[in-house]
Amino acid sequence: MQTGTEIYNIGILSALAATLLFGITNVVYKKLDKELSAIDITFTRVWVSLLPAYFFAILSAGTFEFEVPPQSMLPLGVSMILGIVAGDTVYFLSQERIGVARAFPIAMSYPLLVYLLAALFLDEPVIIQRIIGAVFVVVGVAAIARTEASHENTEQSIADDQRKRIGVLLAFLTVCLWALSDVIFQFGLTSIGAAEANFFRMLVASIVLIPIFFITHRGGRSLPSRRITLLALLTGLFSIALSLILYSYAVKFVGATITAVIVASAPIFTAPLSAIYLKEEMGAKVVGGTLLTIIGVILVVILL
């Protein structure tokens, strides 16, 4: 029988593994953003991940006939629609308008709102050390992302004011959607296993995206090339199929707040990956931001 400490450690390791996968796939998507639209990324990520999610649920439940408790259906479904279907799509739209260096720091401040909502509605204790750690993570992430601004193309930097305002508003909307999704997800996990909950969420997202797919393709919008679609599907297997199951276990075992802070620290992985894969330089601000982010995560994870 696993102890509380063992379960906590498993949750932390799951969150870190999910963050690494999120980081890797974000770098790949950044490479593809000229050839793949935000909505296409959402479609490919969700649909390619439905079958693996089902297999994970079967393995976890030990039966093909697992059930989702009725009281969990609504919060699980709503959390998926808010977080992945709406939140991720809105974030990608924001990133298209104001760039990663502006959209990412805003969006990654969402753990602070998660902590507030969890304290208000889930009776999570407010611990000053964790608040300080979360702030460190947000500041560190902002420092890393701001440094990447110099690598953005000129076309983005001279975007008109209205486009920028819309992009900033979308980034703040992302914060609200992701935070609400995490807290509602934690509430929905109280009476169901993480893998089974993950499959149900993926099923809901897959169904919701069907009419959206046909609506967005009215008017003859062209589909991405076969090569790009295949690459997006393979990337989606890691960004959703594997990372979301790990994320689900993290939320189940350590809660939405700690998981959100760890996931927000993704730039400590994406910065070196971008330097290697996208040929971006790592300056002193990136190194400093990375160290600050790591310290923040330690403050949140390890209570002194």
Tell me the mean pLDDT per 10 residues along the chain, length 304.
Answer: 80 92 75 68 82 92 89 95 90 81 82 93 89 90 69 50 86 95 95 94 92 76 70 74 91 94 83 64 75 89 71
Q: Which of 247, 284, 248, 252 is nearest to 266 (CA)?
A: 247
pLDDT of residue 31: 67
Quick one: CA dihedral 106, 107, 111, 112, positive or negative?
positive
Record the tokens describing residue 58, joined without a space. 């079967």
pLDDT of residue 119: 92
3-class DSSP state for residue 66? coil
Cα 67 from chain centre: 26
For the chain, which residues make up each domain, given as ranges? 4-301
pLDDT of residue 154: 43
Record the tokens describing residue 92, joined without a space. 């990608």
pLDDT of residue 84: 86
Q: What is the pTM of this model?
A: 0.83
3-class DSSP state for residue 247? helix
Record the tokens describing residue 124, joined without a space. 């999570």
